[in-house]
Amino acid sequence: MTDFFLMYFREGNEPEETTQITYRELLVQVCRCSNVLQKQGIQKGDRVAIYMPMIPELVVAMLACARLGALHSIVFAGFSAESLCERILDSSCSLLITTDAFYRGEKLVNLKELADEALDKCREKGFQVRCCIVVKHLGRAELGTGDSPSQSPPIKRPCPDVQVSLVLKNKCHCTDRGVDLWWHELMQEAEDECEPEWCDAEDPLFILYTSGSTGKPKGVVHTVGGYMLYVATTFKYVFDFHAEDVFWCTADIGWITGHSYVTYGPLANGATSVLFEGIPTYPDVSRLWSIVDKYKVTKFYTAPTAIRLLMKFGDEPVTRHSRASLQVLGTVGEPINPEAWLWYHQVVGAQRCSIVDTFWQTETGGHMLTPLPGATPMKPGSATFPFFGVAPAILNESGEELEGEAEGYLVFKQPWPGIMRTVYGNHERFEATYFKKFPGYYVTGDGCRRDQDGYYWITGRIDDMLNVSGHLLSTAEVESALVEHEAIAEAAVVGHPHPVKGECLYCFVTLCDGYTFSPTLTEELKKQIREKIGPIATPDYIQNAPGLPKTRSGKIMRRVLRKIAQNDHDLGDTSTVADPTVICQLFNHRCLTIQ
């Protein structure tokens, strides 16, 4: 039935790079890829790391793993070599699938170079992947269209000084880094059919890493049955899915939103969606709306940070396009401020579309609090009510459930099919992180308010996590990247309001003796963070901090630092600060902050 049905409208980084992929074509590619992986020794239960941009081969690779019962561990292509290495090691992945290079807007990302660096780091730590399969993406033109595995057309923007697409550094079986193999060569030789491996509903489907408050990312494990059921159901009801819809989720598959609502949710419903490789501002700021018109998108799903970014350019880039096909507009990733919500509703949706503000997490697999379009009366900025079967509660510090109008910790009282099952290789950490603070409840780590009408309003993280452009980062992760610099003795990172990102990083650094604070040092620190974590973690502010406000037991008082970052002298109770003179000093040093 779905054989000839369109699975994806693929839109590349350049508007002319378009292709269509049917369910039938996808199945053949997935079977071939499963055969390729099997030939490389991949079996049920093995872990496969995937580090790729938003191209069809990414979907093929993840589904091929699923077909074999192997766990894919997708690492967002914006992460650094170090982050990739850490994730490969944590789940001892047998194999890496990556891409030569790609463009994000005008920026060239030499992905294979980063992948090589990661594999070198793994080897230094005594671990070697069996092989590295490389999709020729930027170098696709050399293949000719016929050979192109997903019928993607040649890239229109080749870069002459990039050699990665032409050469595989390790194309021999005797290098110490392992073996590099071209995807298209392996796929050409592979059979079109592959029996799926039968899995139990509770078998793991994939691992996806999310920041942990200790700084070490957690490998969130989702299962075959529960996760698939949950994403299929939430997709159907939250987007009011109908067969004639064209769905578009702008999230990268490297994040959970992409896993659930670019790949698994739409696929399980036989939906037609858009797979977009580019960015909202390239070649111009009306790109999203031109794609909406091009494919007659009916249901559109994006993040508040993208909405705020586009709002800055005014209404005309939006209204220049018809957008008549749009029916439902979704948002996810962070609290949406009412101003952005209203612009989304009034300008993008021309006041005719429902907005679904969906609250959920990597750990929950799918939507938890969300309106149902056309059925739930909306309030700008509220994720409204729980999805079917979800039982939220708001607790106070002592763990008592609060009734009626209340504010406190958001928890869930009963499990749902898509709940993560464990932290890969560390079940104790799973129990400690989510179930220890309030026994008997799943703790989200978010604060929440319930109003007099019973609507839920997420107030933001209440742990040491930061939400930058909808992506969670732990303060500990950034602090440890900072203190690895020889000039830094101690660091403390807090969130700071940002008009587009929602929140940005504000870092306080205490220098080692003999070092001076300078623009060169702050640049070095930013570079270090980009290399250790990735560009998303680049701080907006770094401030020299001769001392940090601490409690007598030595705990850094982030609440005070957040106030200092905002130049807000209303500090509340500071009686527990061990050395109050530090606070004055930091306020005085604010003017030395270098952006």
- Per CB under 6 A, the segment of 59-67, 258-266, 467-475, 504-512 that binds ligand AMP is 467-475
**Closer CB to ligand AMP, residue 19 or residue 80?**
80
- Among 35, 152, 165, 210, interactor with ligand AMP by CB under 6 A: 210
Contact characters 473-512, ligand AMP, x per CB under 6 A: ----------------------------------------
* Closest listed residue to residue 473, CA positions, set 487, 482, 463: 463
Do the beta carbons of residue 13 and residue 277 sit within 8 Å? yes
Do the beta carbons of residue 89 and residue 47 sit within 8 Å? no
- Among 28, 31, 256, 488, interactor with ligand AMP by CB under 6 A: 256
Residue 258 CB, shortest distance to ligand AMP, in Å, is 10
**Closer CB to ligand AMP, residue 86 or residue 334?**
334
- Among 11, 245, 357, 503, interactor with ligand AMP by CB under 6 A: 357
- Enumerate residues 409-448 that contact ligand AMP by CB under 6 A: 444-446
- Enumerate residues 333-352 that contact ligand AMP by CB under 6 A: 333-335
- Among 2, 361, 528, 593, interactor with ligand AMP by CB under 6 A: 361
**Closer CB to ligand AMP, residue 325 or residue 361?**
361
Contact partners, residue 527, CB within 8 Å, separation at least 6: none
**Closer CB to ligand AMP, residue 138 or residue 332?**
332
Q: Is 362 in the site for ligand AMP (CB under 6 A)?
A: yes
Rounded CA separation 349/307 (Å): 12
Q: Is 376 in the site for ligand AMP (CB under 6 A)?
A: no
**Can you say how many angstroms the Cα of residue 533 is from the centroid of all Cα atoms in its chain?**
13
Bridge partners of 490?
A: 510
CA atoms within 13 A on the CB side of 292: 27
**Closer CB to ligand AMP, residue 219 or residue 445?**
445
Rounded CA separation 158/155 (Å): 6
Q: Is 461 in the site for ligand AMP (CB under 6 A)?
A: yes
Contact partners, residue 490, CB within 8 Å, separation at least 6: 483, 509, 510, 545, 548
- Enumerate residues 280-299 that contact ligand AMP by CB under 6 A: none
Rounded CA separation 564/568 (Å): 6
Q: Is 252 in the site for ligand AMP (CB under 6 A)?
A: no
The backbone torsions φ and ψ at residue 407, rounded to the nearest 5 degrees and listed phi first, read: -140, 140
> CB neighbours (10 Å) of residue 112?
27
**Closer CB to ligand AMP, residue 110 or residue 361?**
361
Alpha-helix residue ranges (DSSP H) falling in 376-518: 427-435, 475-483
Residue 62 CB, shortest distance to ligand AMP, in Å, is 18
Residue 434 CB, shortest distance to ligand AMP, in Å, is 12
- Enumerate residues 122-141 that contact ligand AMP by CB under 6 A: none
**Closer CB to ligand AMP, residue 26 or residue 458?**
458
- Tokens standing for 103? 């463009």
Tell me: cis bond preceding 377? Omega within 30 of 0 counts.
no
Do the beta carbons of residue 368 and residue 360 sit within 8 Å? yes
Residue 471 CB, shortest distance to ligand AMP, in Å, is 6
Rounded CA separation 214/477 (Å): 7
Q: How many residues at the interface with ligand AMP, by CB under 6 A? A: 21
Q: CA dihedral in degrees (16, 111, 94, 473; nearest 10)? A: -100
Q: Is 91 in the site for ligand AMP (CB under 6 A)?
A: no
Contact partners, residue 428, CB within 8 Å, separation at least 6: none
Footprint of ligand AMP on this chain (CB under 6 A)? 210, 256, 332-335, 357-362, 383, 444-446, 458, 461, 467, 471-472
